[in-house]
Amino acid sequence: MLYAVLCYNSEDTVFSWSKQEEEAVMTKLIAAQEKMAKAGKLGPVARLMPTTAATTLRKDREPAIVIDGPFAETKEQLLGFYVVDCESLEEALEFARDLGKANPGGAYEIRPLAVFRPGDLKSEQLAR
């Protein structure tokens, strides 16, 4: 089963990390992903820019309106996600626990995928 692991945390806190703290967390997160990657179970990984960079299109009215900022004002924000291939929910939870050890606070939402098309984007396209 494919699962999305959605990462929620207080972006105020995450963006208050010093460079050293940030690097330490990233190193540990990458180590946690390595296990999954080696087993061929790690799909796309994305880290999102802060919600200040977000724009929302509200389409529940005509015409749809564009709003600056994220869709929902929440205490903890969606900051990134992983897609992983796991035998069971337990395995997906185990992965989330591993990630959690690197990265205190916040929450991971583990959500099974209904449709998955990996697409053909390359990560270099980010640099443009």
Partner 1 sequence: MNDIAWIDAALTSARPRAVSALLRYFRNLDNAEEAFQNACLKALDSWPRNGPPRDPAAWLIMVGRNVGIDDARRKAKQQPLPDDESLSDLGDAETAIADRLDESHYRDDILRLLFICCHPELPATQQIALALRVVSGLTVPQIARAFLVGESAMEQRITRAKARIAKADVPFETPGAPERSERLGAVAGMIYLIFNEGYSATGGELPLRAPLCEEAIRLARLLLRLFQNEPEIMGLAALMLLQHSRSAARFDAAGSIILLEDQDRSLWDKAMIAEGLALIDKAMRHRRPGPYLVQAAIAALHARAARPEDTDWPQIDLLYATLERLTPSPVVTLNRAVAVSKVRGPEAALEMIEPLAPDLSGYFYFFGVKGAMLQQLGRNEEARIAFDRAIALANNAAEAAHIRSHLDRLQRDSAPA
User: Which residues are at the interface with partner 1 (CB under 8 A)?
Assistant: 10, 12-13, 15-17, 21, 24-25, 49-53, 55, 66-69, 73, 75, 102-105, 126-127
Shortest Cβ distance from residue 90 to partner 1 (Å)?
Answer: 23
Shortest Cβ distance from residue 66 to partner 1 (Å)?
Answer: 7
Contacts of 47 (CB under 8 A, 6+ apart): 79, 80
Pick from 81, 58, 80: which is nearest to 69 by CA?
58
Q: Rank residues 16 and 88 by Cβ distance to partner 1 and give the closer one.
A: 16
Q: Rank residues 57 and 115 by Cβ distance to partner 1 and give the closer one.
A: 57
Contacts of 29 (CB under 8 A, 6+ apart): 99, 102, 103
Q: Rank residues 64 and 67 by Cβ distance to partner 1 and give the closer one.
A: 67
Tell me whether the omega of the peptide bond preceding residue 63 falls within 30 degrees of 0, making it cis: yes
Q: Rank residues 69 and 112 by Cβ distance to partner 1 and give the closer one.
A: 69
Shortest Cβ distance from residue 7 to partner 1 (Å)?
Answer: 15
Shortest Cβ distance from residue 126 to partner 1 (Å)?
Answer: 7
Residue reference for tokens 């529940």 = 60
Q: Give dist(CA 52, CA 127) in Å, integer.
A: 20
